[in-house]
A and B are shown apart, each in its own frame.
Chain A
Amino acid sequence: MLANIFGTSPVQPLVNHVHISYKCVRELDGFFGAVIKGDWDSAVEYRNRITGFEHEADDLKKEIRLHLPKSLFMPVPREDLLELLLVQDKMANRAKDVSGIVLGRKMHIPPVIAAEFQEFVKRNVDASKQARKSVRELDELFTSGFRGAEVSLVESLLEELDAIETDTDDRQAALRASLFEIENEIAPVDVMFLYRVIELIGEIADMAERVGRRLELLLSH
């Protein structure tokens, strides 16, 4: 009977979820590498892995929600944890969406901006990795009651996350500018979709930053 008063702790599942979500995003780097090279066979393989991880993240999300009933008494509001879960999941969703569009239209990345484009993708992957690193501190945060040295540690991780996100914003602006330079040479529909893809990739870092915001909210309780 003593055992049953412990509800299923959401901490480890949340950490697992952000890990899967990150793994999903990470595949984008290889995916765009293949797309730039025009290697559609391996692009399809990357895309399959991305959808696989996205499904896995989705299933885990449902599972966590199921085990987080309203009757749980937790040190932090249940809503904040569910919100954290939601933005973690959105990182994976964006990776799936963007790879779907690129593959569906067999999009061609202009060689002039290819290197810059790949770097931009990498920085977004970095942002999601930093989000994972921050969420991994949840367990320690719960143990220390959301106070003291652990909080400062997480705050510094989140500052770094913000810095990465700002960097992706800058790169996004630069990439748009570079695309603008050459947009007359590309078919208008393709240009529109390139802008769209750049925007979607940039949203991954935005979501990672929102993961950070949610963690910050937990700290302030």
Chain B
Amino acid sequence: MEAQYIYIGLAAAFGLFMAWGIGANDVANAMATSVGSKALTIKQAILVAAVFEFLGAVLAGGAVTSTIRKGIVDADLLVNSPELLIYGMLASLLAAGTWLFIASKNGWPVSTTHSIVGAIVGFAAVGIGIDAVQWEQVATIVVSWIVSPLTAGLIAFLIYLSVQRLILTQEDPLTQAKRYVPVYIFFAGFTITLVTLLKGLKHVGLDLSLTNSYLLATGIAVLIAIVGFIFIQRIEPDPKAEQKQHFHTVERVFAVLMVVTACGMAFAHGSNDVANAIGPLAAVISVARSGIVGSESALPIWVLVIGGGGIVVGLATYGRHVIATVGEKITQLTPSRGFAAELAAATTIVIASGTGIPISTTHTLVGAVLGVGLARGIEAIDLRVVGRIFVSWVVTIPAGAFLAIIFFFILKTVLP
């Protein structure tokens, strides 16, 4: 029984480290859009990220965590050797962490989600057997990795097109912006709240009826829209800045909207990416405690709290620098463009989180940005970099798998 504490301790350490890494690096992509467009200062961004990443992780992170924990490996095959699942999950965390470290040292754009899923599939297929992988589930995940950036891109394209039609191409864009931005705020609040209520909250023990969910989401969204409306009414044009940039005041109206979508983005990121760190941890804990594989025990909330906390610590210690650096580089994303990208990505991610599918937040956001670009909204997109992202998309899976296999066999020899 000594061993189980070692396992849980190791898994908690690796998991926390992953969560720290996600907070330190990944969150930057989600938040930098808001900082780059000057909708939020760095301090505000950190605060928003800390609160909403945590909320997202705890309130809506359950489904994806379950998938990572028991959706990829067929636990039935491990009934007689539960320790294999523990080694495998530890190896996966180590492999994903190592791969992410190597990648970020070399500046390769890799995804946390792809690394961890690749690692789990790798150890299960080679360490246990081809049949141990629930290929159907894995296929669903991989397809969603193609579908999610496309979906986010399409939504972003449509949103930005509507912004151009309704506001930016009009004779008096400021009046139009003041009229329509609260509507966008309503939709942003509504979509994210509704998906969370419908799909996420079950894991917290709250189960609202369909009608109640719709009513509550509408209520919350109206409330947010009213607050936004009040802020927007206060915005007065600055004639001096207007002369240099006609859309200056209009962009300030959009900045209010972007605060809302930034919260949504942080929430979405927390709900999907926390699982990468704590999914394996949850698996180790449940096996180590009960000694049984595939036990139906519910996911303890405190595990989600650990994950959310780890992300917040990563954010506070190291993430702020990354956010500042990335934010400086993406000045092309003005609030009117940035909000379209963020809202599209956040919606896509929250839906995936609710359905329990681990997707890459960053790739989804990249898809959304490309969508805005297709609406002729972005001055220049470097297609070479998009190509590199696609290549690393493909390479990460075998790389994560390969490392996980090595670590799996090492751990199997070393650990009791």
Residues of A in contact with B (beta carbons under 8 Å apart):
1-11, 68-69, 71-75, 139-140, 142-151
Partner of A9 from the list B332, B336, B362 (CB cut-off 8 Å) is B332
Partner of B379 from the list A69, A71, A75 (CB cut-off 8 Å) is A75
3 smallest A-B Cβ distances: which pairs? A148-B169, A1-B109, A3-B329
30 A-B pairs within 8 Å (CB atoms) are namely A1-B109, A1-B362, A1-B366, A1-B389, A2-B369, A3-B329, A4-B109, A4-B329, A5-B369, A6-B329, A6-B332, A6-B382, A7-B382, A11-B379, A68-B380, A71-B383, A71-B384, A72-B380, A72-B382, A73-B382, A74-B380, A75-B377, A140-B245, A140-B246, A142-B379, A148-B170, A149-B170, A150-B168, A150-B169, A150-B246
A161 to B203 Cα, complex, angstroms: 66
B386 interface contact, C-beta 8 A: yes
Q: What are the residues of chain B within 8 A of A150 when measuring CB–CB? A: 168-169, 246
Chain B interface size, as a band, is 35 or more
Chain A nearest CB: distance from B80 CB in Å?
Answer: 43
Is the beta-carbon distance between B379 and A10 smaller than 8 angstroms? yes
Chain B nearest CB: distance from A168 CB in Å?
Answer: 27
Q: What are the residues of chain A within 8 A of B386 when measuring CB–CB? A: 5
Partner of B380 from the list A1, A3, A10 (CB cut-off 8 Å) is A10
A7 to B330 Cα, complex, angstroms: 9
Further contacts, 19 of them, CB under 8 A, given A143-B334, A144-B164: A1-B385, A2-B32, A2-B33, A2-B326, A2-B369, A3-B32, A4-B385, A5-B385, A6-B332, A7-B380, A7-B381, A68-B380, A140-B246, A142-B377, A147-B169, A148-B164, A148-B168, A149-B170, A150-B169
A79 to B332 Cα, complex, angstroms: 21
Q: What are the residues of chain B within 8 A of A10 when measuring CB–CB? A: 379-380
A68 to B380 Cα, complex, angstroms: 9
- Interfacial residues of chain B within 324-369, with CB under 8 A of chain A in the complex: 325-326, 329-330, 332-334, 336-337, 362, 365-366, 369
Q: What are the residues of chain B within 8 A of A147 when measuring CB–CB? A: 164, 169
Is the beta-carbon distance between B336 and A143 smaller than 8 angstroms? yes
Chain A nearest CB: distance from B196 CB in Å?
Answer: 24
Q: What are the residues of chain A within 8 A of B330 when measuring CB–CB? A: 2-3, 6
Whether A143 contacts B168 in the complex (CB less than 8 A), given A5-B386, A6-B332, A71-B384, comes out as yes
A124 to B334 Cα, complex, angstroms: 36
Partner of A4 from the list B171, B376, B378, B382 (CB cut-off 8 Å) is B382
A69 to B387 Cα, complex, angstroms: 15
Q: What are the residues of chain B within 8 A of A73 when measuring CB–CB? A: 373, 380-383
Number of A-B contacts defined by CB within 8 Å:
113
Partner of B326 from the list A3, A75, A145 (CB cut-off 8 Å) is A3
Interface string of B381-407 (1 = CB under 8 A from A): 111111001000000000000000000
Is the beta-carbon distance between A72 and B168 smaller than 8 angstroms? no
Whether A143 contacts B382 in the complex (CB less than 8 A), given A1-B109, A6-B329, A150-B169, comes out as no
Q: What are the residues of chain B within 8 A of A2 when measuring CB–CB? A: 29, 32-33, 326, 330, 362, 365-366, 369
For A2, A3, A9, A142, the residue with the greatest tally of chain B CB atoms inside 10 Å of its CB is: A2
A74 to B377 Cα, complex, angstroms: 9
Is the beta-carbon distance between B366 and A143 smaller than 8 angstroms? no
Q: What are the residues of chain B within 8 A of A6 when measuring CB–CB? A: 329-330, 332-333, 378, 380-382
Q: What are the residues of chain A within 8 A of B29 when measuring CB–CB? A: 1-2
Interface string of B238-268 (1 = CB under 8 A from A): 0000000111000000000000000000000
Partner of A145 from the list B169, B369, B370, B384 (CB cut-off 8 Å) is B169
Is the beta-carbon distance between A144 and B381 smaller than 8 angstroms? no
B173 interface contact, C-beta 8 A: yes
For A69, A147, A148, the residue with the greatest tally of chain B CB atoms inside 10 Å of its CB is: A148
Interface string of B66-99 (1 = CB under 8 A from A): 0000000000000000000000000000000000
B158 interface contact, C-beta 8 A: no
Q: What are the residues of chain B within 8 A of A75 when measuring CB–CB? A: 373, 376-379
A71 to B386 Cα, complex, angstroms: 10
Is the beta-carbon distance between B173 and A145 smaller than 8 angstroms? no
- B160: nearest chain-A partner, CB-CB: A145
B375 interface contact, C-beta 8 A: yes
A197 to B373 Cα, complex, angstroms: 46
Is the beta-carbon distance between B32 and A9 smaller than 8 angstroms? no
Q: What are the residues of chain A within 8 A of B33 when measuring CB–CB? A: 2
- A151: nearest chain-B partner, CB-CB: B169
Q: What are the residues of chain B within 8 A of A9 when measuring CB–CB? A: 332, 379-380
Chain A nearest CB: distance from B37 CB in Å?
Answer: 12
Is the beta-carbon distance between A145 and B168 smaller than 8 angstroms? yes
Q: What are the residues of chain B within 8 A of A3 when measuring CB–CB? A: 32, 325-326, 329-330
